[in-house]
Amino acid sequence: MGHKVTLIPGDGIGPEVTASAVRVIDATGVEIDWEYQMAGRDAEEQFGTPLPDEVLKSIRRNKVALKGPLRTPIGKGYRSANVTLRQELALFANLRPILTIPGVNTRYADVDLIIVRENSEDLYIGKEEEIAPGVVHAIKVVTEDACRRISEWAFQHALAQQRKRITLVHKANIMKKSDGLFLRVFNEVAQNFDEIEADHRIVDALCMDLVLDPTRYDVLLLGNLYGDIVSDLASGLVGGLGLVPGANIGSDIAVFEAVHGTAPDIARRNLANPSAIILTAAMMLEYLGEQAAAEKIRKSIRYLLAVEKSRTRDLGGDLGTDQFTNLLVQEVSARL
């Protein structure tokens, strides 16, 4: 029996790379009934909003979505559709695995991190107001309930992934009430999980540690803003945003999206690396209970990227989006 999944191609390179992901999933033999939905710039032009109600209705109905990147105007314009989507659907956990791919040339070997980011509050929700001309007030909201929910989720996920340690990343030395609350709740939750070592690290010190030796960490738990910044930093440790998958998960709904943005400068030029969204699709398949298909995709990508002639341009090869996808489809099909 197939799965019903909402597909949001997105902006920029989104339609190209999501099309690659659909082809690769088809090659696994898993039956997906895709329900296409428009969001982002085209939706804003056609419907007056980057996130039409029908998109939310579709995801609530299907419970699972695969989403391409959505454009967010910088410093002006409409509010981030990505943030709105997470809040409207109560997708409180953002999950980003950071894993070295053999053959991809980086300074680091054997990086294997899981980044868990609280998705619903903190400064990242964009609550700002101009309280006087030239003076803007940004509001950081941190609640005990959200801290406890994401802490418990992170520990449970660590257990499921057979991880040994979780590090809470914070700035409680300065943000004594907000980040201090997160630290207190994290320590309380940790007492219920004796199997996992729990510690904490100030965010600036963590960034230095990751650059020096990322292998010293296992699972990182962060608030919304720190999590966004650190996950991009960590992506650079394994070859860049073109190789890192991601998911936004709630109690009964999950939206899977790659970490990278819309990259409008290379859109519609057959230059984008689709690996991140394809690895994201593998995460989605695993969530749907299709573990064998997910593993075929991961092994196929790792096999191809180990050979320079089968890489996209951003990784030192000369393949375009379509050519890389063709090779990957062949490799996945051969593993059936």
pLDDT for 246 beyond 50: yes
Query: In 205-228, which positions are buried (b, 16+ CB within 10 angstroms) versus exposed (e)?
Result: ebbeebeeebeebbbbbbbbbbbb
Both tokens of 239, joined, read 């070859």
Catalytic residue among 11, 63, 67, 171: 171
What percent of the chain shows pLDDT beyond 70? 97
The overall pTM is greater than 0.85: yes
Triad 322, 259, 201: Cα angle to 5°? 150
What is residue 75's predicted lDDT score, i.e. its pLDDT? Answer: 47
Residue 324's Cβ-count burial label (10 Å; 0-12, 13-18, 19+) is: buried
**Is 67 in the active site?**
no
Output b/e per residue, 20-52; b: 16+ Cβ within 10 A: bbbbbbebbebebebeebbbbbebbeeeeebbb
29-42: pLDDT as tens digits: 999 999 999 998 88
Query: Which is the catalytic residue, given 204, 213, 252, 318?
Result: 204
| pLDDT tens digits, 32-69 | 999 999 998 888 889 988 999 999 999 999 999 999 99
Q: Which entry of 67, 122, 124, 287 is annotated as an active-site residue?
A: 124
Provide the token pair at 212.
């020096």
What pLDDT score does 106 carry?
84
- Catalytic choice (11, 122, 179, 228): 228
**pLDDT tens digits for 144-197?**
999 999 999 999 999 999 999 999 999 999 999 999 999 999 999 999 999 999
Q: Of the candidates 256, 251, 234, which has an alpha carbon nearest to the alpha carbon of residue 243?
A: 234
On the question of pLDDT at 216 being above 90, the answer is yes
CATH 2.60.40.10, domain 1-99+240-336, yes or no: no
Task: Note if 171 is an active site residue.
Answer: yes
Give the C-alpha separation, 241 to 30, whole Å: 26
Q: What percent of the chain has pLDDT over 90?
A: 83
- pLDDT tens-digit readout, 78-110: 567 888 899 999 999 999 999 999 888 788 989
Q: In what order do the strands lie in the sheet with 219-222?
A: 32-36, 3-8, 64-67, 254-257, 247-249, 93-99, 112-118, 219-222, 165-170, 197-202
Kindly report the CATH class assigned to 107-237. alpha beta
Comparing 1-99+240-336 with 107-237, is the CATH topology the same?
Answer: yes
User: Is 124 in the active site?
Assistant: yes
Q: Confirm whether 265 is a catalytic residue.
A: no
- Those residues whose C-beta lies under 8 Å from the C-beta of residue 15, and which sit 6 or more positions away, are 9, 68
List the chain domain ranges: 1-99+240-336, 107-237
Task: Tell me the mean pLDDT in the region 203-219.
Answer: 97
